[in-house]
Amino acid sequence: MIYLITGVPGSGKTLKMISDLMNRKDLQGRPLYLDGIPEVKGEIIPNLPIPDGETMQTWYKWAPPSAILVIDECQRVFRPRPSGSKVPEHVSELETHRHKGIDIFLLTQHPRLLDSNVRALVGHHCHISKTNMGFRRMLEWERCADPTTKADVAGAVTSVYTLDKKAYGVYKSAEEHTKIRTKLSRTVYVFPIALAVIIGGLWTAYSFWRNMTAEKPQKPPVAAQAAR
């Protein structure tokens, strides 16, 4: 299957890939080839070098059965082509990659950076972003989607994504120094004020009601006062 993971720099997409390689049982014990993720610790994630003289553009010539190929910044390998141009062999070969049991993981910032034929073959797409509330959100589809359109976002399986701390230090991350700056939603500022106003209003109303319903001291009868 072809898996696509997208997200801006600093979103955590490479860290998710490393975490999946560490934790997913279906990715264990298979020939693993990495491209674009530097200094991965082989004692934690065993991986093989790409054969001399070969690249990910010639993957179909050297990748063994049941191999796992991981390509970070995959637009370097599968860049979009002009409409009507000839489909490169390393792209057309993706149409039958499953015959050899090969899984391919593609990481990039946005699907539009990829060749349209590659997008059409994606079987699972995961997009990670940081919300205005400050947490990370993960959107998932069983196809290549556009995470910037309302329709695709509405049709996604949505979950909160937490960075896997155990994956830190397993590779050299360029994202560690890239922070996503987001403007906090007005709700973050307005909610505490609104809550304070509501609580204050309820307390005022309760105090007024208590004063209105409290028993007032009765004055002695006028006749009793005259007898004194």
pLDDT digits (tens, 9 = 90+) for 26-40: 999 999 999 999 999
CA atoms within 13 A on the CB side of 224: 3
pLDDT digits (tens, 9 = 90+) for 134-146: 899 999 999 999 9
CB 114 within 8 A of CB 134: no
Say yes or no to pLDDT of 5 above 70: yes
CATH value of 2-177 in 3.10.20.600, 3.30.2130.10, 3.40.50.10860, 3.40.50.300: 3.40.50.300
Q: Residue 175's pLDDT is what?
A: 55
Nearest residue to 147 (alpha-carbon basis) of 115, 186, 108 = 108
Q: Residue 199's pLDDT is what?
A: 80
Nearest-angstrom CA–CA distance, 104 and 91: 12
Q: Residue 187's pLDDT is what?
A: 52
- Token readout for 77 is 């390998």
- Token readout for 90 is 């390393």
Instruction: Tell me the mean pLDDT in the region 138-167.
Output: 97
* SS3 state at 70: strand
**What's this model's pTM, rounded to 2 decimal places?**
0.78
Nearest-angstrom CA–CA distance, 191 and 202: 16
Instruction: Tell me the mean pLDDT in the region 91-103.
Output: 97
**Chain-centroid distance, C-alpha 3:** 14
Instruction: Tell me the mean pLDDT in the region 158-176.
Output: 89
pLDDT digits (tens, 9 = 90+) for 10-27: 999 999 999 999 999 999
First to last CA, the chain: 104
Does an H or E element contain 34, and which?
Answer: strand 32-35
Q: What is the mean pLDDT of the chain?
A: 88
Nearest-angstrom CA–CA distance, 146 and 41: 33
Instruction: Tell me the mean pLDDT in the region 83-105.
Output: 96
Instruction: Tell me the mean pLDDT in the region 104-123.
Output: 98
Q: Residue 17's pLDDT is what?
A: 98
Q: Residue 163's pLDDT is what?
A: 96
pLDDT digits (tens, 9 = 90+) for 170-223: 999 865 544 544 444 455 445 567 676 688 777 677 676 667 666 555 556 655
Q: Where are the domains of the chain?
A: 2-177, 186-217
Residue with the larger pLDDT of the pair 197 and 80: 80
Instruction: Tell me the mean pLDDT in the region 81-107.
Output: 97
Q: Kindly compute the dihedral angle of the four CA atoms of residues 19, 23, 25, 29, in this order, to the nearest 10 degrees.
A: 70
